Every structure is written in C-alpha cells, then in structure tokens.
Amino acid sequence: MADIKSEIKGVVKKGEVIYGSRSVVSGLLNDNPKLIIISSNCPSENKEEIMYYSRLSKTPCRLVDIDSVELGSICGKPFPVSVIGVIDAGESSILNEL
C-alpha cells in the first residue's frame, strides 16, 4: 500500500494529473489519460460512468483501497479527491505498478 501511495505522490509531483470525475470523463472522451485511479469511497454513479468510458477508450482503470480524503492528502490538495487521471507519468513507474 505504501508503494502505491509513493507512486501517486511521484506522478503528482513530476507528471501531469487531472482531478475529479468530470475532468476525468472529459479526458477519457478526448483520449488523454493513460491510467485512471478511483478511490474506495467514490460515489457509485461516478465510478460506473468512469469505468464505462475507460472501457470504451481502453484506458486502464484501477480501484485503490484509499479513501478520497487520504487520496486528496496524497495529492497535496486540501480537499477530497475521488478520481485522478494520469496524463503523463513523469519519472514515476505508476503505469507499470498498478
């Protein structure tokens, strides 16, 4: 678990990430993200919509055992983050880890 958290921190710091379900869905429609990370307490409607569009765009989608408050904290945000989309992994190996 700590490894996943450090990989998320690394990609947020050195890569390019989009936050939030609306932004991620918009990104999936434009084929931008390379990986979608969904928190454990993401609302089911949002989770289903994101997973649907990720299947259509053939983008990997991973559910992590981290709640949205902790995911927001890992990302350095002062608010809960239920979904992040990795556009560019930077120096992180998160695309290989998850």
Backbone angles phi, psi at 12, to 5 degrees: -70, -40
What pLDDT, in 10s, does the model give residues 5-16? 888 998 999 889
SS3 content of the chain, % helix, strand, coil (to 5): 50, 15, 35
| pTM assigned to the model | 0.89
Query: 34-48: per-residue pLDDT in tens?
Result: 999 999 999 999 999
Domains of the chain: 2-89 (3.30.1330.30)
CA distance 57 to 32: 10
